[in-house]
């Protein structure tokens, strides 16, 4: 490893790239908004490397993701808002604040006998502290809360703090989890599954009626219900969909390869031939 490869070195490189006179024209032109898609993409590439178990790729992708944090912080620093040190300070303070069962108020480790061992109690404490943080943000005007009336102070909304930019299935999971914490939830997965079937029937009805707007709305309801079913089953819906999509990709590629051994390409095969090859691929899977 380069002995100079420290966070200070990375910050210096980013500052050089952003230099208006001697830096990179592309980097200089970027804004908080313009690099958001790259930040999201890098986070997904980290997840992909983890799923594939590729340690070398994970190292590289974590570096790319770290660069996005440094990039955003540099843009903010140039505007006089905050710097990378402030980002680090904020997350350190948050970790200490959200782990009162591990650290005292000054960030010193508590002795083992003072640490709770019940994971559910720790999770409940975590959620309580997060709720207090959301309320404090709203009170300071930073939380994007709901207005209670003209001239009134903003009220903490039940879903404040759940980013709207999250993938739709992930956000559905977060929203339903927050609602369930209030007691507004189905008692078990079986009843959620019944709701999924009900929503599928409503999709069918809207399809028969030929109402495109209703079809879109009912499919949205169906997907939200499926996200709730995943939550009740203890499954991450985003991860489940990624795996399901990957399985389809793998089987489709194997189907195409099977047809190729028969001397036929996909564009030369009718649906019946593709379905027969698809079923053969499924039978051959371990």
The residue to which tokens 């999924």 are assigned: 196
Q: What is the pLDDT of residues 115-144, one digit of tens each?
A: 777 777 787 887 888 878 877 777 777 655
| Closest listed residue to residue 20, CA positions, set 9, 29, 33, 10 | 29
| Closest listed residue to residue 129, CA positions, set 92, 106, 100 | 100
pLDDT for res 143: 58
Residue 252 structure tokens: 């489709």
**SS3 of 147, please?**
strand
| Closest listed residue to residue 180, CA positions, set 129, 145, 144, 230 | 230
Q: Strand 154-155 relative to strand 146-147: parallel, antiparallel, unpaired?
A: antiparallel
pLDDT for res 128: 84
Q: What's the CA gap between 85 and 90, in Å, rounded?
A: 9
pTM exceeds 0.85 for this model: no
CATH homologous superfamily of domain 1-98? MazG-like (1.10.287.1080)
Handedness of CA 56, 61, 43, 252 (dihedral sign): negative
> How crowded is residue 169: how many other Cβ atoms within 10 Å of its Cβ?
20
- The contacts of residue 59 (CB under 8 Å, 6+ apart) are none
pLDDT for res 129: 85
Q: What's the CA gap between 162 and 64, in Å, rounded?
A: 25
The stretches in the chain having pLDDT less than 50 are 1, 145-154
Q: What's the CA gap between 157 and 217, in Å, rounded?
A: 24
Q: What's the CA gap between 230 and 65, in Å, rounded?
A: 28
pLDDT for res 271: 95
Residue 62: half-sphere exposure toward Cβ, Cα within 13 Å: 7
**Domain residue extents for the chain:** 1-98, 114-161, 168-180+188-235, 239-284
Q: What is the pLDDT of residues 190-223, one digit of tens each?
A: 999 999 999 999 999 999 999 999 999 999 999 9
pLDDT for res 3: 52
């Amino acid at each position: 490893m380069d002995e100079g490869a420290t966070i200070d070195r990375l910050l210096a490189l980013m500052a050089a790239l952003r230099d208006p006179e001697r830096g990179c024209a592309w980097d200089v032109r970027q804004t908080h908004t313009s690099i958001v898609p790259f930040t999201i993409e890098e986070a997904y590439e980290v997840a992909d490397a983890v799923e594939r178990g590729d340690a070398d790729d994970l190292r590289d992708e974590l570096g790319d993701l770290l660069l996005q944090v440094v990039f955003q912080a540099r843009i903010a620093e140039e505007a006089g808002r905050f710097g990378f040190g402030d980002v680090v300070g904020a997350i350190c303070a948050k970790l200490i604040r959200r782990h009162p069962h591990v650290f005292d108020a000054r960030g010193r480790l508590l002795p083992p006998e003072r640490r709770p061992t019940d994971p559910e109690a720790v999770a409940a404490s975590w959620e309580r502290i997060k709720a207090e943080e959301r309320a404090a943000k709203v009170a300071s005007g930073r939380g994007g809360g709901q207005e209670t009336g003209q001239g009134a102070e903003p009220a903490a909304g039940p879903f404040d703090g759940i980013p709207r930019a999250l993938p739709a299935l992930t956000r559905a999971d977060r929203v339903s989890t927050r609602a369930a914490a209030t007691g507004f939830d189905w008692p078990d997965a079986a009843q959620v599954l019944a709701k999924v079937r009900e929503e599928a029937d409503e999709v069918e009805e809207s399809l028969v009626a030929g109402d495109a707007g209703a079809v879109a709305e009912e499919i949205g309801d169906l997907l939200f219900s499926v996200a709730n079913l995943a939550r009740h089953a203890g499954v991450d819906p985003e991860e489940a969909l990624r795996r399901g999509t990957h399985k389809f990709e793998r089987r489709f590629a194997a189907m195409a390869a099977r047809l190729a051994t028969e001397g036929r390409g996909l564009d030369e095969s009718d649906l019946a031939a593709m379905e027969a090859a698809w079923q053969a691929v499924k039978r051959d899977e371990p």
